[in-house]
Structure 1
Amino acid sequence: MKKVLLSLLALVLVLGGLAYQNQTALLLALVKYKSANEYEVGPPRDLPWSAGPAQAGEEPGERPPNIILIVADDLGYNDISTFGGGVAGGRVQTPHIDQLAAEGAVFTQSYSGAGTCAPSRAMMMTGRYPTRTGFEFTPTPSGMAPVVSRISADMDSVLPPAIYDAELDASRPPYEEQGLPAEEVTIAEILRERGYQTFHIGKWHLGRQNGMAPHEQGFDQSLLMASGLFLPEDDPNVVNAKLEFDPIDQFLWARMVYANSFNTGDEDRFEPGGYLTDYWTDESIKIIEANKNRPFFLYLAHWGVHTPLQATREDYEAVGDIQPHRLRVYAAMIRALDRSVGRINAALGDAGLADNTIVLFTSDNGGPGYIGLPDINHPFRGWKISQFEGGIRVPLFVKWPARIAAGTVSEEPVAHIDMMPTLAAAAEAPQPEGVVIDGENLLPLATGDGAEQWDRETLFWQSGHYRVVRHGDWKLQVAARPDKQWLFNLAEDPTEQNNLAATEPQKLAQLQALLDAHAASARPPLYPAATELSIAIDKTLAEPFAEGDEYIYWPN
């Protein structure tokens, strides 16, 4: 498939005499035609979720806690009203997410594992940095890199052009085979060994073949997002928002179809039974009801609010007359995500499981600038596909009424690498032998039991030449393109406005030494970066980029 799409791109390049609009339309039409004919997609079906015993052998409070990990996709820090914000200047609130936060622990300085999704998800599953696993970059669907690079190059923009290495791209494994190595130990494998029934619903993005699919990485059952539409584009109940200024969005509309698969990785595709966010919630509730008499782990990995922007007509009408159109559709998607959280919590209450179930909520990274909505990460600077705070600062809420007091707040810097050791500790499951775990158990911070012993000072991020360290309250970003360093004191400057790299040479040297030491023992990435996109730090893609505006090249 990848070679076919590269050939299609070559054909378009041969037809270079066509106007830009015609070239783009032809290229995307070819991608859409190939995608529509790539797989057969069957009708919706009832799924055979495994069920626990009809009667419990012990009371819920006497069993290990059930665990539900809810991960949003590309959720901006300001998209939820928990921190006083909310979409469209606070017009759209998120009461169910807010309630989850209020009833448990809120980590006010929580970070994603990376500025894009897949490495973050790998760190949640393993508790290990990419320097150990080699899973450093986000796999992209076949044809995406050349098509997006081509469209970007032809757009009228002052941003530096994308860098694309076609030969290197052709040497990489197919998209389906780029993933987290099968030998890595996931939290699902640890919990299954502990006696949990393990379920995955939604996005995975850690490989689909060669032992890397979720049902091969510790999940007893997996309902996998096999493509990327929330509803068919022409469904009478869908409202779409296409972003003509965004090459990624143009590719996704051409490439994606409406499909799931069940326990087959990349095969046996069928249509979901409704709008993805609601359908996956429906299936999650079935799992809760069927397994209320035994310990279970549910990883609900939502696609919302990632592009393509699609909402149900009901949600679109409910949020009111918000402008522009894309913001209204986005707000409606947030409403659906919030509803999902509320329905999950209600189902736990109905099943008598609320007290001894851990519910975690986070996002894989910050909100993207390429959707053209300037306030989604407010007050933080930067976007997804950067490692400024806007790209990596994410919500993290943990509710566990049996152990965690409502209204608990921790200001310690924590990150996605802490998920695995935290959940293993909650289940009293041993960590894998002979495996270095970079994350730390967050339960002492959430419960207050031993919180005074927390002493971690340093966190790392990286994507190729673009590397970051936070040590104490200081944060250093280092890049080769552009050749620049950004040094910030987050205690005094949490929104990263005042670059101190030129005025704090000793602090710069200290943090650079930490970065160098971290890199010294790193394994090479499993799949080298073939593309680098230039990303404006302070403007959305819908805003004109001017000479002198700051940007970063993001390798992937």
Structure 2
Amino acid sequence: MQVLVQPILVFVLLWGESGAVDARPNIVFVLADDYGFHDIGYHGSRIRTPNLDKLATEGVRLENYYVQPICTPTRSQLMSGRYQIHTGLQHSIIHPAQPNGLPLNSPTLADKMKEGGYATHMVGKWHLGFYKQEYLPTNRGFDSYYGYLTGAEDYLTHKRSGFLDLHDNLDPVFNETGHYSAQLFTQKASDVIMAHDSTKSPLFLYLAYQSVHGPLEVPEHYMEQYRDIKDTKRRTYAGMVTCMDEGIGNLTSALKTAGLWDNTVFIFSTDNGGQIYEGGNNYPLRGWKGSLWEGGLHGVGFVHSPLLHKQGYVNRALIHVSDWFPTIVGLARGFLNGTLPLDGFDQWRTISKDAPSPRKELLHNIDILYGRSGSPRYPDTFDTRIRAALRVGDYKLITGNPGNSSWIPPPELQDLRDTTDASTGKPANHPDSDHRLLFRPSDQNVWLFNITADPEERHDLSDSLPEVVQQLLSRLLYYNSTVVPPRFPKEDPNASPGKHGGVWGPWE
């Protein structure tokens, strides 16, 4: 007879003036949207981010940290701890009218935190599906939710395609028109912090800013310090970044005022690379949002906490957004029972003590629905026409169509625009003035890079190291054998908010 032993949660309690206090750390996770790799002060940006810089410099900067190239996949891997090929979300994003969502067959990060006795709250962008009530944040482990369900909207009207998308738990919010979302979401997150009773439970707060995703909107005074930036989109974007940075400063002040800061692990991440067309920048990395180049998925990230054993250093261990699930549950002294097999690793020792990363490889994605490119290059292994990317050790392999391949410096680097090479039409002293770097042969569908030695992906090694290409293709073939079918249904006309009181929300 099999005996089932249920795990027993043991919480360490301290006795303070107000009673017993759970000693487990509060976890605050802040996710920025479309935030470019170049666009933080400590990466040499013209954009001022004093609060982010201070937190990162005092904490642990993650400089070998990866997310996904677009919104939904990163959020799905954060909340599930599983690669998108294992949740069916490997193609594109969840569009507002699609009957789609993060599958219900495995608990979310919030579910596990709530199971472990944490108070769980979310503010900001969801983008993991809402076509049925059971896909809403408050049915995926969050005690409360304030924010929007789709992928993008106006910062001031809080509308998408003319219809409202702002919710307080299950109720639409009609009275916040004109309240800029970065400031609104900071206020709501700070309200959660100030209302939290630490004698009853530790806090898990997930703040997913709308910033700095398009449309490009910000109160005028945030742009005044960037009058020297002539590019209008870049100037507005810079103001949006600074407004978000101010919000993060206000959020940390609220944690200190509430007496929570000394027992908090504060995590910051972007969801993907910056969108060049919307003012973002990833220089000197190659590519941008939506691409499989480093500019699309090498993320800005850091951890700040008094609980870190080692602080004020740069961590270069391989870490992925899916790793936050087991890492955070581990910090909460929770259990991973009940989940489907995770692709993430507990990275707390790696981050806190600079120990070696347990992650030796990283699947960026395999997308069989993306248009195939070129002809198969290697027989009897992974089809190189398919859009995919994989990192193993120092090496990164890309197959199929990786997306835009350019290196784009930020417009404010005037010294790169002083003179023009007549033969290329590019600045003579521009590091990418050789146009041959910017375009790939139309039939090429395999690239190999040593990312450690060549983080800017300028030296393709696929021809000189065919044996490494074959080894990584065999790993892609293995991962492809574990793929679940992509979930990408047609848009449903019944989703129209015009049929539901003018508000985006569940329709089935």
Matches within 5 A, 1:207-356: 207-210=129-132, 211-226=134-149, 228-232=153-157, 255=161, 259-264=165-170, 268-272=172-176, 274-293=179-198, 294-356=201-263
CA contact (8 A) 1:231 1:258 kept: no
Percent of paired sites with the same residue: 32
Q: Distance in 2 between matches of 1:425 and 1:117?
A: 25
Letter in 2 for 1:460: L
> Equivalent residue for 1:107?
62
Deviation, structure 1 residue 529: 9.3
Letter in 1 for 2:88: G
1:298-346 CA deviation, whole Å, 9 max, x = no partner? 1100011100000012212343342111111111100111111111111
SS at match of 2:238: helix
Deviation, structure 1 residue 63: 2.1
Q: Residues 350 and 254 of structure 1: is their aligned pair in 2 closer, same or farther, counting only changes over 3 Å?
A: closer
CA contact (8 A) 2:215 2:278 kept: no
Structure number with higher helix proportion: 1
> Equivalent residue for 2:351?
446
CA contact (8 A) 1:379 1:495 kept: yes
1:363-412 CA deviation, whole Å, 9 max, x = no partner? 00001133265xx1011000111010000011111112123432133211
Among 103, 114, 122, the residue aligned to 1:200: 122
CA contact (8 A) 1:229 1:257 kept: no
CA contact (8 A) 2:127 2:149 kept: no
Among 345, 362, 370, the residue aligned to 2:277: 370
CA contact (8 A) 1:230 1:258 kept: no
> Equivalent residue for 1:520?
481
Deviation, structure 1 residue 257: 5.2
Moved over 3 A (4+): 138-142, 256-259, 318-321, 480-483
> Equivalent residue for 1:498?
459
> Equivalent residue for 1:137?
91
CA contact (8 A) 1:120 1:364 kept: yes
Q: Distance in 2 between matches of 1:229 and 1:371?
A: 14
CA contact (8 A) 2:125 2:148 kept: yes
CA contact (8 A) 1:356 1:402 kept: yes
Letter in 2 for 1:524: P
SS at match of 1:397: strand
Deviation, structure 1 residue 355: 1.2
1:115-156 CA deviation, whole Å, 9 max, x = no partner? 1110110000111011221122343545xxxxxxxxxxxxxx
CA contact (8 A) 1:226 1:259 kept: yes
Q: Distance in 2 between matches of 1:386 and 1:134?
A: 19
SS at match of 2:262: coil
Deviation, structure 1 residue 458: 0.6
Letter in 1 for 2:395: W
SS at match of 1:475: strand
1:503-546 CA deviation, whole Å, 9 max, x = no partner? 2110100111111101111111122699xxxxxxxxxxxxxxxx
Q: Residues 316 and 363 of structure 1: is their aligned pair in 2 closer, same or farther, counting only changes over 3 Å?
A: same
Q: Distance in 2 between matches of 1:312 and 1:479?
A: 42
CA contact (8 A) 1:421 1:440 kept: yes
Q: Does 1:358 align with 2:265?
A: yes
> Equivalent residue for 2:390?
469
CA contact (8 A) 2:121 2:143 kept: yes
Q: Distance in 2 between matches of 1:367 and 1:529?
A: 28
- How many residues align? The count is 412
Q: Does 1:116 align with 2:70?
A: yes
Q: Residues 418 and 196 of structure 1: is their aligned pair in 2 closer, same or farther, counting only changes over 3 Å?
A: same
Q: Distance in 2 between matches of 1:480 and 1:445?
A: 33
Among 296, 299, 302, the residue aligned to 1:397: 302
SS at match of 1:361: strand
Deviation, structure 1 residue 223: 0.8
Among 279, 283, 286, the residue aligned to 1:381: 286
State TM-score, norm by structure 1. Answer: 0.70
Of 72-81 and 496-505, deviating more is 496-505
Q: Distance in 2 between matches of 1:255 and 1:261?
A: 16
1:472-522 CA deviation, whole Å, 9 max, x = no partner? 000000016865111111122110011111121101001111111011111
CA contact (8 A) 2:69 2:297 kept: yes
Q: Distance in 1 between matches of 2:466 and 2:80?
A: 35
1:235-276 CA deviation, whole Å, 9 max, x = no partner? xxxxxxxxxxxxxxxxxx982556411222xx6342436100
Q: Distance in 2 between matches of 1:189 and 1:525?
A: 24
Q: Residues 260 and 219 of structure 1: is their aligned pair in 2 closer, same or farther, counting only changes over 3 Å?
A: same
Letter in 2 for 1:330: Y
Deviation, structure 1 residue 56: 4.2
Of 74-83 and 220-229, deviating more is 220-229
Q: Distance in 1 between matches of 2:401 and 2:58?
A: 44
Could you tell me which runs of 5 or more consecutive residues in structure 2 were left unpaired when the two chains were aligned: 1-15, 369-385, 403-442, 492-508
Deviation, structure 1 residue 357: 0.6
> Equivalent residue for 1:246?
none
Q: Residues 467 and 324 of structure 1: is their aligned pair in 2 closer, same or farther, counting only changes over 3 Å?
A: same
Letter in 1 for 2:186: T
CA contact (8 A) 1:226 1:269 kept: no
Q: Distance in 2 between matches of 1:460 and 1:400?
A: 29
CA contact (8 A) 1:476 1:485 kept: yes
CA contact (8 A) 1:409 1:446 kept: no
1:50-94 CA deviation, whole Å, 9 max, x = no partner? xxxx984334xx5211111100000001111122x22xxx1x210
Could you tell me which runs of 5 or more consecutive residues in structure 1 were left unpaired when the two chains were aligned: 1-53, 143-173, 234-252, 531-556
Q: Distance in 1 between matches of 2:90 and 2:29?
A: 22
Q: Residues 254 and 339 of structure 1: is their aligned pair in 2 closer, same or farther, counting only changes over 3 Å?
A: closer
State TM-score, norm by structure 2. Answer: 0.77
Alignment RMSD? 2.3
SS at match of 2:471: helix
